[in-house]
Structure 1
């Protein structure tokens, strides 16, 4: 399976325009943003867990990071409510579930193979937050004021995911849970919407994909 798999091109997915697709686990559905591979894949996905649903225990050979968008996500290491950011490095394993339901943004098989840094963070209700940074990538949350013009260097590529509010880029409007990816060598030029925007940003990590 290949979805938005050409990393030399701009890619955008709008949450409201994308269908949910059933996963192999009962009660777990997905909206695929980008993907290379089948069930074991390099993937960026919005995943929705119905109350009481779970995945079988598994190991993340290529690592996993996720942002909890709503509900409470659970595994052996704890309970992660909306606003939680988690990195499970390569070779880690867990049994994910959601007793009362949850929706997460998750990225799989995108870590440096030698990365062994685990992260467990809870975002504040507003403001900016540095989530993770190393020589390969920078992950953060940014808050933009109403109508604010934003320019971001994307020399190593960039992804911008809307948590709250919205923005416009290249005459395209992005709202809650919409996703944009720009290729390495780009510059992000955006303007926050009338209610401002809170966005999850990952940059620098796509340099080896082109």
Structure 2
């Protein structure tokens, strides 16, 4: 919650530079905060309840995507991986960050259980997949190639 409203678990909030708010929680909560990671001109405030927002079919069967924000080649999304989903090997020219919200996410490098944070550098490559548990991940791409202003 803040002075503008209450936000249920799973909400995605984005407050641009020079904005202010006073967050609080009556029952307690876990917040994932990333401060001062905006590019010049990226001034959009966002409030998304991911519990009610629409999911879109991903690039392969078993993948569902909920876009959260995109600006100047930097994208942020939630990606739901059904059990036993295999994605194509690919390269991230602008790097990639992943936070595993639920389940276990895998690639040829390791297995990443709930709570894992993966930061892959520019031009990193991998072939991600899930096994029987599936996964829900937060993904940000393109930001490691585009220096902050």
TM-score normalized by structure 2?
0.82
Residue number among 77, 81, 84 corresponding to 1:144 in the alignment: 81
| Residue 170 of structure 1: how far off its partner (Å) | 3.7
**Relative contact order, higher structure (CA 8 A, sep 6+):** 2
Please give the per-residue CA displacement for 1:26-53, whole angstroms capped at 9, x wherever unaligned. Answer: xxxxxxxxxxxxxxxxxxxxxxxxxxxx
Within the candidate set 131, 142, 148, 1:193 is matched to 131
SS in 1 for 2:131: strand
**Cα RMSD after superposing both structures:** 1.8
* Corresponding residue to 1:98 among 4, 21, 25: 25
| SS class of match (1:130) | strand
Aligned-pair CA distance for 1:152: 4.6
List, as ranges, runs of 4+ consecutive aligned residues in structure 1 with deviation greater than 6 Å: none
- How far apart in 2 are the matches of 1:128 and 1:118? 21
CA offset digits 1:76-106 (Å, max 9, x no partner): 1211111100110011011111111000222
Q: 1:100 to 1:157 in 2, by over 3 A?
A: same
Gaps of 5+ in 2: 56-63
Distance 1:169 1:196 in 2: 13
Distance 1:99 1:124, change over 3 A: closer
Q: Does 1:107 align with 2:34?
A: yes
Could you tell me whether the CA contact under 8 Å between 2:92 and 2:122 is conserved in 1?
yes
In the superposition, the TM-score normalised over structure 1's length comes to 0.60
